[in-house]
Structure 1
Amino acid sequence: MVKSKVLNNFTFFIIPATPKRLHNIKQSAYESAGAQVIDTLEDEHTPSHIVLVNKEWTYAKVLAYLKVDELPKLTRVVKDEWVSRCIENGKVVEIGADDEILPTTVVKNEPQAEPSEIKQEDKDKFEVLPVKTEESNESDESEYRSNHENTEEPTEKKRKPARDHRKQTGKTRKLTWDSVLLSQPHKVEKTESGNPNQLVIDIFSHLENHYTAAKDTFRALAYRRAVATLKQETDRKITTAEEAIKLKGIGEHLAEQLQEIVETHHSERLDYFHSKVENVALEVLMGIYGVGPAKARRWVGEGVRTLEDALARPDLTPQQRIGIEHYDDFNTKMPRAETQQHFEIVKTVVQKLDKDTIVECMGSYRRKEEFCGDIDIIITLPIGLEPDTEKALVRLREVLLNTVVILAKQGFLTCALTGPDPLAYDYNVSRILDAVGSFDRWYGASTVPSNYGVWRRIDLLIVPPDEIGATRLYFTGNGLFNRTIRLLAQHKGFSLTQHGLFRDVARGKRREKLSEGLLVESKSEHRIFDILEIPYREPEERSM
């Protein structure tokens, strides 16, 4: 029973209107909660909300169903689940990113699709479908939305009608994980600073961050792919939508945005985001080490707007405090040459402690990119040198512990983010073992003499020798390539993690893993590619 008229002053238009029985049930529930439900847009009342009973509908399909080019300015398109939560909670709850269907650029002067079908351009809107990662860095917390903020993005009324550039190029824009992995990869050979498309890259990167914060996975992924593609265009400047649409990973809507940025030197969409103080705060807070999208949304909801606000929080962890104090250092990419200096210092100490160790620098360094975000280093032993896996790990843990103590004492390692702080134990190995025992990874920061005073993020990880192939694949990246190949593996009946390629993995109704399955391969990168029936890609060919 509805306790109060929580939906007073709300006017709903429910779609789809069939089946009639479902429509009547919804209408009765909404009206009991105080809302007015109208049956047609020609009604004297303008709907405050279009309510979607079918959550799979897109904004484009809503317009096609209603046979209109655009909705009234203040009308929002929401899912039925949000209305139900309002009724259940006895109050109007915030509209989260997953509750609202936001508008996209409307293609005018073209025939509208029939109500029963979705336009092909909407089906092909995102080239690669996302897959949930095996590990999650942060729990799914409640969404942030301002109580009084209209979260719709601006309809681009002054822009020229979008043209179907696919018709001009004769190109079909449907790319999936298998076609992406089987397509001819590009090599990245020049620096980001010399890229003639840097302005578009920067703006698209900002938009990716905003959509990541809003948990809009599809849009974030689309911008990420576009950025990766533009980074490869180092010899020419892409200036028109016609040129952009020919590139892998850039669809019609992003092509139109690219042309807008080139012509005006700004983005109306990004301007919209930056017009909201809360949106700017989200992007800033997500740059703090130890603060993910969910935590950033919660902090903004609690009034945090600046790094100074975050620094004053009583629940701030020591790691987050370091992340704020060295915010610029951690968020500025370093030249490849500087990354190599950090790597060589670690490698020299590790191999002095144990001459048999294999030490490799992963991530963007292994992909041979000219700029790196942080330093990811793995330490292992040759396969077969130590047949007993546990004995191999004991040996590697001893090396890791002594490496951390030596490098911290030298001043190269400047702080600990995950793992013990050697300074707290007076650089005494025995005291660390007594207090925390051995460890398999150590995350922190480091600095080199050539750039003394600037801290860089560094991660040290030991790897069982038999897992080195899967580990190399996982830690080389990039993130989009990893997500794509994991989805392909899942489609073929496997599960791919940093520990290996597995088959016969039992999964639940929501695709969660119920068992690890049987190990198929973990020692060889090449063998994993072979089993998945895709050509091997050199590390520098994995920047997607």
Structure 2
Amino acid sequence: MNKEKVCPEGKVVNPLTGRCINIKALEKKMKKIEKAANAAADAPAAKAQDDTSPIIVQPENNKKLIDNLRILADYERINKEPFKVKAYEKVIGSIELLDKNIETLEDIKLLKGVGKKIEDKIIEFLNTGNISEVVGVLNDPKYILGNKLKGIYGVGPAKITELMTKIENFEELKEHPELLNDKQKIGLKYYDDMNLRIPMAEGKQHLKVVGKILNNLYSDNDGIEFEFVGSFRRKNKDMGDIDILIKNRKGLVLKDIIKQLEDKSYIIEKLAQGNNKFMGICRLSPELPARRIDILIADPSYYYFALLYFTGSYNFNIYMRKIALTKGLSLSEYGFKPATGANTATGVATNKNIIDTSDTINSEEDIFKYLGMTYVEPHRR
């Protein structure tokens, strides 16, 4: 068990690093972030009350740099160079936390864990807009195969390394399915479908199908509360999969929901199922692509925290956790806990020692109020 870190007076544990950080310094940084984010909002949107809150957007230049570094990290993973992979991932993580574009050598110094070789690549990117090594990697047959294998559900880095010693191309894997476990075979079977984005219009049809079944199953006075989360709730133009969060209630049984969805030929494959979580494959009709679906049941005590967390985006969740820190709190999908009691191994609150907020938080909006914030609509996260 990890020993909880206790910070000196005037400091709290940073949930992103596990280190003590000055509260006043963090408050100053958050004001700067909020000011910059407000300035990024478009003029028409600023007229509406709900749209005065910030849009949390990764600086465009940084996004491109991260994409380049991820390609190099993936290549080193294929080459069985774990230390190089770790070095790239550390730098990528540091860039993701920046609220400004990296444009100068001084900006590079803000990043943690940048060695000479990676620094040279970042400098090349700043000077040319690209990293020359990436061009070569993208044309390397070994990288092309590894990247293709990464798109199979359930195939991780270790399995990719193993497969690349046994096959020379992707078509060869289709001829030797015995190289995969049952879940990976399902991933291979629906490979093309599962690597297609889901248009918002199709996402809305999934909502109709699932919503009708849920409302029919739990049509008593208590009803049922659920949301399609992730990119769908943020109103993005498309999404990678179907993510559903359901608030637990008396009489709710996940396996009953899954059976109904199977009986309607909506769920066509099971990948994993427990009492509170289901992972599988669904589709609207045999003529349409198969899609990944996750269904999660959340206890009422933390449902709205889970709703906030699983709606995202990743950068917005970081933003919210930083705001919570200025209040001496650590925030996770389970709720609030004192920042000094955050798990320093994971950097966020766990479901232990959670503060009881049942009397004050009965909606997602209440979480924002608790932090003294204006509610941010999902489409601006």
TM-score range, shorter chain: 0.5 to 0.7
Matched residue type, 1:526: E
Q: Aligned AA for 2:150?
A: M
Look up the SS of the partner of 1:289 in the other structure. Answer: coil
Q: 2:37 aligns with which of 184, 196, 221?
A: 184
Distance 2:72 2:261 in 1: 38
The Cα of 1:335 is off from its aligned counterpart by 1.0
Residue number in structure 2 paired with 1:16: none
Distance 1:513 1:267, change over 3 A: closer
Pairs aligned (count) = 311
Give yes or no for the alignment of 1:448 onto 2:284.
yes
The percentage of aligned residue pairs carrying the same residue is: 25
Structure 1 residue 540 corresponds to structure 2 residue 369: no
Contact 2:15 2:348 in 1 (8 A): no
SS in 1 for 2:261: helix
> Residues 200-257 of structure 1: CA distance to partner in whole angstroms, max 9, x if unpaired?
988964653543653422443477689x999xxxxxxxxxx89xx9xxxxxx987974
Distance in 1 of aligned mates of 2:146 and 2:341: 37
Aligned residue in 1 for 2:367: 528
State the Cα distance separating 1:452 from its structure 2 match: 2.1
Partner of 2:11: none
Q: What runs of 5+ residues in structure 2 fail to find an aligned partner?
A: 1-13, 19-27, 45-59, 78-84, 108-119
Q: For 1:475, what is the secondary structure of its paired residue?
A: helix
Q: Does the 8 Å contact 1:210/1:282 carry over to 2?
A: no
Higher relative contact order (CA 8 A, sep 6+): 2
Q: State the Cα distance separating 1:277 from its structure 2 match.
A: 3.8
CA contact (8 A) 1:304 1:310 kept: yes
| Counterpart check, 1:332 vs 2:196 | yes
Q: CA deviation at 1:375?
A: 0.9
What does residue range 298-337 of structure 1 map to in structure 2 within 5 Å?
299-300=163-164, 302=165, 306-308=169-171, 312=176, 314=178, 316-337=180-201
Distance 2:29 2:271 in 1: 38
2:246 maps to what in 1? 379
In structure 1, the residue matched to 2:209 is 345
Please tell me the residue identity of whatever aligns with 2:156.
Answer: G
Match of 1:208 among 52, 70, 73: 70
Alignment of 1:386-401 (within 5 A): 392=249, 395-397=251-253, 400-401=254-255
Cα distance in 2 between the residues matched to 1:287 and 1:413 = 21
Question: Contact 1:365–1:372 (CA<8 Å) still a contact in 2?
Answer: yes
Distance 1:274 1:507 in 2: 39
Matched, 1:417 2:271: yes
Change (3 A) 1:462 1:286: same
Q: In the alignment, which of 152, 161, 164 is matched to residue 288 of structure 1?
A: 152
Distance 1:229 1:446, change over 3 A: farther
Does the 8 Å contact 1:284/1:307 carry over to 2?
yes
The answer for the alignment partner of 2:116 in structure 1 is none
CA distance in 2, matches of 1:303, 1:417: 25
Cα distance 1:395–1:510, how it changes in 2: closer, same or farther (>3 A)? closer
Q: Does 1:480 align with 2:315?
A: yes
Instruction: State the distance in 2 between where 1:511 and 1:505 align.
Output: 10
CA distance in 2 between counterparts of 1:514 and 1:342 reads 32
Matched residues in 2 for 1:483 and 1:412: separation?
35
Q: Distance in 2 between matches of 1:271 and 1:370?
A: 29
Secondary structure of the corresponding residue to residue 320 of structure 1? helix
Q: Is the 8 A contact 2:15 2:321 kept in 1?
A: no
Bigger Rg, structure 1 or 2: 1
**How many angstroms apart in 2 are the aligned matches of 1:361 and 1:129?**
27
Per the alignment, residue 4 of structure 1 pairs with none
Asked if 2 retains the 8 angstrom alpha-carbon contact of 1:443 and 1:458, the reply is yes
> Structure 1-normalised TM-score?
0.47
1:502 maps to what in 2? 337
Could you tell me how far apart the structure 1 residues matched to 2:294 and 2:157 are? 21
- On the 8 A contact 1:489/1:495 being kept in 2, the answer is yes
Distance 2:236 2:332 in 1: 24
**2:307/2:364 contact within 8 Å kept:** yes
Q: SS of the residue aligned with 1:537?
A: coil
Structure 2 counterpart SS, 1:364: coil
TM-score scaled by length of structure 2: 0.65
Match of 1:217 among 76, 89, 109: 89
Larger relative helix fraction: 2
| Secondary structure, counterpart of 1:401 in structure 2 | helix
Work out whether residues 229 and 245 of structure 2, in 8 Å CA contact, stay in contact via their aligned partners in 1: yes
2-structure distance, mates of 1:225, 1:273: 26
Cα 1:501–1:439 change in 2 (3 A) is same
Give the distance between the partners of 1:515 and 1:403, measured in 2 at CA.
26
Structure 1, residues 90-119: CA drift from partner, whole Å, max 9, x if none?
Answer: xxxxxxxxxxxxxxxxxxxxxxxxxxxxxx
Q: Write the distance in 1 (CA, Å) between the matches of 2:205 and 2:191.
A: 22
Cα deviation, residue 323, structure 1: 1.2
Pairwise CA distance, 1:337: 0.5
Q: For 2:36 and 2:372, how far apart are their aligned partners in 1?
A: 13
**1:452 partner SS:** coil
Residue 518 of structure 1, CA deviation: 3.4
Alpha-carbon distance change, 331 to 354 in structure 1, aligned in 2, over 3 angstroms: same
Residue 353 of structure 1 deviates from its aligned partner by 0.9
**Where does residue 8 of structure 2 map in the other structure?**
none
